[in-house]
A and B are shown apart, each in its own frame.
Chain A
Amino acid sequence: MNVLKETRLVALRTHVLKHNDVVARSLREEFLANEVCAISLVSSPGAGKTALLEQLLGRLILQYHVAALVGDLATDNDARRLGRSGALVRQITTGTICHLEAEMVRTALLDWSLRDLDFLFIENVGNLVCPATFDLGEQIRLVLFSVTEGEDKPLKYPTIFNSADAAVITKVDLAQAVECDLPAMHRNLQLVRPGIEVLEVSAKSGQGLDQLLTFVEQSRRRQCPGT
C-alpha cells in the first residue's frame, strides 16, 4: 500500500540562537537594573586580553567594585593572573567549546551579587570566529588586535569586528619593531565597522591606558545613567 505523505510549509522567521538571545537579554536587563557595566573582550589567542585586563582591573579596583569572568578551553591560569589584582575573578572552562554562550555567563554569575558590582568584564575564549555569533548580554564588546597580527585582520574577520562596539589595538610599543602600518589598521577597522571608536594601548609600557580607563568609565556612565 502506498501511503501518501502530506507536507506543509510552516513559516517561522525565528533567529536560530533564540535561546541564547533570550538569556542574553535577561542578563542585560539584570546588569542595567543593578547598575553594572558589563564589558566583554574578544580577540585571537595571544592578542593580550589578559595582560590588558590585568592593568585595567588593577586601576579600576582602587575606585570601583570590579569582577571578571574568564573563558578558556582549559586551565585556570588566566583567572589566577587576574585574581592578583584583588578583583573577584572566576574561570569558565569550556572544555572543547570554542566560545562563551550566554547560559555559561548566567551560570557563572549565579552566586555573585550583581548589586555589589560596578564593572563586570567577560574575557571570551581567544578566537576571532566563533564568539562573534553569541550575544553574552554585555553592554560593550571590545575587540582587541595586536600590532603583530597584520593590518588586514578586520578584513579577514569582518563578522567579529562588525559586532564590536569599540576596538583596541594592543602591543603598540612593538609597532615600530614589527613595521606595523597603524593608519592602515585604522582604515580597515572603519571599513568593516563604520564609526567605531579605536584606542591604541600597550599593557607593557602603559601607553593609552589612561584613555582606555576614561573610555570604560564613560561607558559605565552611559550604560548606567544613575551612577
Chain B
Amino acid sequence: MHELSIAMSIVEIAAAELRQQGGTTVAAVHLRVGAWSGVAREALQSAFELARVDTALDRCQLQIEEVAVAMHCPVCQCERAIVSPDDPRCGVCGSAASEFVHGRELEIVALEIET
C-alpha cells in the first residue's frame, strides 16, 4: 500500500501550493498516472480519501488521467503503442522496444483552487 505515501505527498504539495497561491480550498487535483508508474488507480483514490481528512483539501477530488505505455520501435523508427499490457512489443510490427518513452508518469498537472 505505497499509495498512501503517494496520496499524502499529493495532499502536501497541493496544500503548499494553496498557501502560496491564496484561496480557501482545492476543489480538484489533476494527476497523470502512467500504466507503469507502479500506482493502482483505485488504491490511490481510496488512499487519497484518507489522506485529505482534516486538511485544507478535505473535499478535494482526484482527477486521474491514465497514460498508456509507449515505446520507441527500432524497426518502425517512431513512437508506438505496445500490443497489450502483458505484451510490451510494438503494436504495429511486433518488434521489441529500444526504449520506453511513456508509462512511468506520476505527476500533478494542475490544481483547481477555490477563492
Interface, chain A (partner B; CB < 8 A):
5-20, 97-99, 101, 129-130, 132-134, 155, 158-160, 162-163, 190-192, 194-195
CB contacts (< 8 Å) of A163 on chain B: these are: 104
CB contacts (< 8 Å) of A192 on chain B: these are: 88
CB contacts (< 8 Å) of B5 on chain A: these are: 97, 99, 101, 134
Question: Binary interface profile of B, 24-62, with partner A (CB < 8 Å = 1, else 0)?
Answer: 100100010000111100000000000000000000000
Q: Is B111 an interface residue (CB 8 A)?
A: yes
Main secondary structure of the interface of A (DSSP, over half): mixed
Do residues B108 and A194 form an inter-chain contact, with CB atoms below 8 A? no
Instruction: State in angstroms the CA–CA spacing of A129 and B110 once bound together.
Output: 27
Instruction: State in angstroms the CA–CA spacing of A15 and B13 once bound together.
Output: 10
Q: Is B21 an interface residue (CB 8 A)?
A: yes
Do residues A14 and B13 form an inter-chain contact, with CB atoms below 8 A? yes
Do residues B109 and A194 form an inter-chain contact, with CB atoms below 8 A? no
CB contacts (< 8 Å) of B37 on chain A: these are: 133, 159
Main secondary structure of the interface of B (DSSP, over half): mixed
CB contacts (< 8 Å) of A98 on chain B: these are: 1-2
Do residues B109 and A8 form an inter-chain contact, with CB atoms below 8 A? no
CB contacts (< 8 Å) of A10 on chain B: these are: 17, 21, 110-113
Do residues A9 and B112 form an inter-chain contact, with CB atoms below 8 A? yes
CB contacts (< 8 Å) of A7 on chain B: these are: 27, 112-115
Do residues A134 and B113 form an inter-chain contact, with CB atoms below 8 A? no
CB contacts (< 8 Å) of B79 on chain A: these are: none
Q: Please judge, given known A-B contacts A7-B113, A8-B115, whether A133 and B9 are in contact too, CB under 8 Å.
A: no
Do residues B112 and A8 form an inter-chain contact, with CB atoms below 8 A? yes
CB contacts (< 8 Å) of A9 on chain B: these are: 110-113
Do residues B6 and A191 form an inter-chain contact, with CB atoms below 8 A? no
Can you name the residue of chain A whose Cβ is closest to the Cβ of B100? A162
Do residues B106 and A16 form an inter-chain contact, with CB atoms below 8 A? yes
Instruction: State in angstroms the CA–CA spacing of A97 and B113 once bound together.
Output: 32
- Can you list 14 A-B pairs with a CB-CB distance of less than 8 A? A5-B24, A7-B115, A9-B111, A15-B106, A16-B6, A16-B9, A16-B108, A18-B9, A97-B2, A101-B5, A155-B87, A158-B36, A158-B69, A191-B96
